[in-house]
Every structure is written in structure tokens, then in C-alpha cells.
Structure 1
Amino acid sequence: MKNRLLLLLLLLGTFAHAQSEISKTKLTELKAQVEKEAAKYKDSLAKAGGSFSQPLDIEYKTDVYRIEKLADKKIKIDYSTAGMSNAIYELNSDYDKLLNKYYGILLKKLSIKDQEKLKVTQRNWLKFRDSEIELIGIIAKEEYSGGGTIQSNIRASRISDLTKNRLIEIKEHLNQFLD
């Protein structure tokens, strides 16, 4: 009898703390929490001075902090394989938005002639990214990877890393400018 009661209590505890999908209301709450945390982070960067004292550096670091913190909070709520993959794919989408933002800033800093070179380079990177995503999908197949549900997380993470790395490259180009 005691064993059954203990088992029942353990099961109830497990279900009470089980992962759950993120509702729109919860997502709004998470975004509000992240905004507060990002504001504090931004203030700490501004106060720290040094290499983070440039407004664009502070903005960039805060932008990245914001989207990564939101992804982290989403994963803590829905830590199922599908939940983690969704959070990572959404993180990739957010990296892509930041990539477009900082690409636009870099584009405006260049002469018209040099803007064309950046546009060609970015189009080439997009072709590379799409080709690499295809390869990532192929390698994630069961016949090569051994399969398993974790492959969706690995695939999502690798795709997200592609976009994040390009964002970092664009920001490094921006770092070359003396403002």
C-alpha cells in the first residue's frame, strides 16, 4: 500500500512539472520578462564602458541577448524534442531578422559601388546557406546519423548556427568602421 501511494505521489509530481506548450498569453509574458532583462543588460553594458560603449555594439549585444534569452525561456517551458526544435527554429528566424537589420546598417555605410559587392556576397551566402541546409537534412537521415528524435534538434541547431555565424560576420565588418 505504501509503495502504491509513493508511486502515485511521484506520478502526480511528475505530471505537475511536465513540459507544456507555450500559449499566446505565456509567450507575451515571456517577451515582457525578456524585455525587462534586456533593458537591465543594456544598462550594464553602457555602465561597463570599454569595448561595449559604442551605441551600435550595445544595441547588437542587447539584440542577441534578447532573442537568445527568449529561446532559452521557451525551451525551459517546453523541453520536449518538438518544443526545443521549435524554439531553435524560431531563434533562427530571429537571427535572420537581426542579420537583415545589421546587413542594412552595413549597406548604408558603403558607397553605391561597394554596396553592389556586398549584395553579391550576400546572395552568394544565401545560396551557400540553402545548399548547406540541404546537406544538413541529408546527413540527419537515419541511414547516416543513426536516427532518433534528437536529429531534429541537431538539424535545427546547425541551421541556426549558420545564420548566427553570418550575423557575427556582418557585425565584424561593421566593427571596421570608425564612427
Structure 2
Amino acid sequence: MMVNRTITAPILGLALLAAASGVADAQDDGTECSRNAETTAEMQSCADEALAQVDSQLNDIYDAIIQRLDSDGADRLRRAQRAWIAFRDAECRFQGLAAEGGSMNPVIVTECLASLTARRFDDLEAYLNCEEGDVSCVPLAPLE
């Protein structure tokens, strides 16, 4: 199959520009690191730092919830978390597709991982802040 390179190159260029601008927007979180990043290596370092921070927060809240679940609930959360991690990783590899093989790909993927991990943190945090009687919440044992 023959591809018309005069059409493909501009489309790929636009896709890379859109992906890079999405990363720039995601990194504009007010941290000194992201505001001062000028090179791809610096952007990657900022992305790695953001991911490590939010991943640590996610692990802390996950552990807090596990401690408040019975064994069946804990097993269900473990299975859900494993499935979520597989989804997150696949989704971020997909989001980096436009920059596959380029220097921005790891930045895009890492920023995506940080963003989705932050969303998962918010979801898990909501379980700890359910109002009594909310049947959409996970039943957690009361704190002792």
C-alpha cells in the first residue's frame, strides 16, 4: 500500500504538536520544575517527579482503604487496582502513539501516567469520604 507522504507528514506534524501542547498544559501545574523545563530531558525529569509523587500518594490511600476492608473487599480492590493499572498503562501507551519513536514520547506517556494516577487517587479518596447512607460507596470499617 502506498502512502501519500505529502499528506501524511503534515498530519503527523499536527498530531505531534497537539500531543506536545497537551503535555505542556498538563505540566503547567504551578511547580517550579515544570515552569523552568526547557529541554526534553528536563521535561522528562519533571514528569518523572510528578509521577513519583502522585504514585506515592495513591499507594498511601490504597493502603488506608485496604486496612478498612474485610478480606473479600480487599481482594476485590486488589483485582480492580491491577485491572486499572493495566488500563492506565495501555491508555498512556496509546496517547503517546503520535510521538512513537520520538524524544517527546516518554514525556507524553509519563505525563499521562501521572494524570491518570491523580484521577485514580481522587476516586479512591472519595471512598474515604462517603456520607453515611450513600449506597454507591464502598463499605469501609470504621476507624478505631
With the length of structure 1 as denominator, give the TM-score of the two structures.
0.50
Choose which of 39, 42, 56 in structure 2 pairs with 1:80: 39
Higher relative contact order (CA 8 A, sep 6+): 2
* Alpha-carbon displacement from aligned partner over 1:38-79 (angstroms, at most 9, x marks no partner): xxxxxxxxxxxxxxxxxxxxxxxxxxxxxx66xx12234443
Instruction: Give the match's secondary structure for 1:88.
Output: helix
Q: C-alpha displacement at 1:152, in angstroms? A: 5.0
1:112 aligns with 2:66: no
Is the helix fraction higher in 1 or 2? Answer: 1
Residues of 2 paired with 1:150 and 1:126: CA distance?
22
After superposition, the Cα gap between the structure-2 partners of 1:161 and 1:137, relative to the gap in structure 1 and judged at 3 Å, is: same
Residues of 1 paired with 2:36 and 2:99: CA distance?
26
- Aligned partner of 2:135 in structure 1 is none
Instruction: Give the match's secondary structure for 2:88.
Output: helix
Q: C-alpha displacement at 1:119, in angstroms? A: 0.8
Residues of 2 paired with 1:135 and 1:88: CA distance?
17
- For structure 1, list consecutive stretches of 5 or more residues without a partner in the other structure: 1-67
Residues of 2 paired with 1:83 and 1:128: CA distance?
27
Q: RMSD of aligned C-alpha atoms?
A: 2.5
Aligned pairs for 1:136-151 (under 5 A) are: 136-141=95-100
* Alpha-carbon displacement from aligned partner over 1:109-141 (angstroms, at most 9, x marks no partner): 111221111111111111112222322232333
Q: Which has the larger radius of gyration?
A: 1
After superposition, the Cα gap between the structure-2 partners of 1:133 and 1:76, relative to the gap in structure 1 and judged at 3 Å, is: closer
With the length of structure 2 as denominator, give the TM-score of the two structures.
0.60
After superposition, the Cα gap between the structure-2 partners of 1:175 and 1:150, relative to the gap in structure 1 and judged at 3 Å, is: same
- Aligned partner of 1:122 in structure 2 is 81
Q: C-alpha displacement at 1:153, in angstroms? A: 4.1
Report sequence identity in percent: 25
Instruction: Give the match's secondary structure for 2:91.
Output: helix
Aligned residues: 105
Amino acid in the other structure paired with 1:159 = L
- Aligned partner of 2:62 in structure 1 is 103
- For structure 2, list consecutive stretches of 5 or more residues without a partner in the other structure: 1-28, 133-141
Instruction: Give the match's secondary structure for 1:101.
Output: helix
Residues of 1 paired with 2:37 and 2:98: CA distance?
26
Amino acid in the other structure paired with 1:131 = A
